[in-house]
Amino acid sequence: MIAKILITGGSGFIGTNLIELFISKGYDFVNIDKSPPLNSRHSTFWRKVDILDVQELQSVFNEYEPNIVIHLAAKTDTVGLSIDYYIDNTKGTENLIEVIQKTSSVERVVITSTQYVFFPKFYNFPKNDTDYNTHTVYGDSKVITEELTRSSNLHCAWTIIRPTNVWGPWHIRYSNQLLKYIKSRKYVHPGFGQVKKSYGYVKSVTCQIEGIINADISLINGETYYVGDYPKDSYEWANEFSLKMGNKKILRVPKMALRMLALFGDLIIILGFSFPLDSKRFKNMVTEYLAPMKKTIDLFGTVPSSFEENVNETIEWLKNDGSKYTSTNYK
């Protein structure tokens, strides 16, 4: 029997890439999302459903009778200052679990969290799956997502995934923020040493999700997996984009100079104006953020293409399908 897969939030960044993979592999799936797909070619797989409407959610489960649920739907930015801002992550997940409990066809579910449930302390990796240390309200909301999953006594197998710093085609925020600054030569790098971060090319993430839904139950039930690639130096990551875009190497500047510029940015933002750098962004630039990737990669691998090939693929997307989502000319 071919499994029937229901994806929540498949219209977004990771979901768009996951659907591309599923189409290429011939999976039977449906995408439920309150927003239309980023990729218009995916419209035939889309059902407009808001996970905050539990009756609407139950109706589509009753109709489709999925065997596998991949829960991607979420508010994923980090600008929210109250937990209510992230109601999709909290109440939305609660609704989904309620509906899954009433749907006997569901055999396994993948719940998406984030690496932001654990910010490095005096040690880099969490000691266990419930060792939390958040630094954003978004991270708080995903702790609630995880706690709801762990405490729900689901009748099916469940797995929590924690995406790292995911990048690649169909990432709209990146095309209008970091990559925009790199392309326009306005990005400079703080300091002269390494700052490693756990990046994840989006096709590595979708490869790992596919591995999880096809794995033996004993490997995935009740487990938490970070999804992405092994860490990379942030300068190396940004510089590769700069060079592939036809620019020179990214300029490195002393940390103190950028720290002062960030403090100036704080003042400008308080006055109601926009500025590309503030203290929060500066701290993110100079702080290592690593994730324990070995367990995931040993079991489920990564996309077979190289980092350089992945950068090229992302830039090609920016020049073509991505051009409609940004005012920056990447050609």
- The span from the CA of 91 to the CA of 252, in Å, is 44
- The span from the CA of 99 to the CA of 59, in Å, is 9
Helices (H), ranges, the chain: 13-25, 54-64, 87-101, 137-151, 172-176, 178-183, 202-214, 217-220, 234-244, 255-270, 279-286, 294-300, 307-319
Residue type, 135: H
Cβ count within 10 A of residue 305: 14
Residue 268 DSSP symbol: H
For 155-194, the pLDDT digits (tens) are 999 999 999 999 999 999 888 889 999 999 999 999 999 9
Residue 212 DSSP symbol: H
Cβ count within 10 A of residue 44: 8
Q: Which one, of 269, 129, 291, 288, lies nearest residue 204 by Cα?
A: 291
73 and 88 in contact (C-beta within 8 Å)? yes
- The span from the CA of 15 to the CA of 8, in Å, is 8
Residue with tokens 């950028």: 258
41 and 170 in contact (C-beta within 8 Å)? no
Collapsed DSSP state (helix, strand, coil) of residue 306:
coil
Q: Which one, of 7, 210, 248, 3, lies nearest residue 105 by Cα?
A: 3
232 and 197 in contact (C-beta within 8 Å)? yes
pLDDT along the chain (331 residues), means of 10: 92 98 97 96 97 97 98 93 96 98 97 96 88 96 98 97 97 90 93 95 98 97 98 96 95 95 95 91 92 97 96 96 88 83
pLDDT the model gives residue 100: 98
- The span from the CA of 183 to the CA of 246, in Å, is 9
pLDDT the model gives residue 294: 97
Phi, psi of 182 (to 5 degrees): -65, -45
282 and 190 in contact (C-beta within 8 Å)? yes
pLDDT the model gives residue 1: 59
Strands 232-233 and 196-197 come out as: antiparallel
- The span from the CA of 60 to the CA of 45, in Å, is 13
For 253-280, the pLDDT digits (tens) are 999 999 999 999 999 999 999 888 999 8
Check the CA dihedral 311-320-329-38 and report its sign: negative
Threshold 0.75, pTM exceeds: yes
- The span from the CA of 115 to the CA of 260, in Å, is 29
pLDDT the model gives residue 123: 78
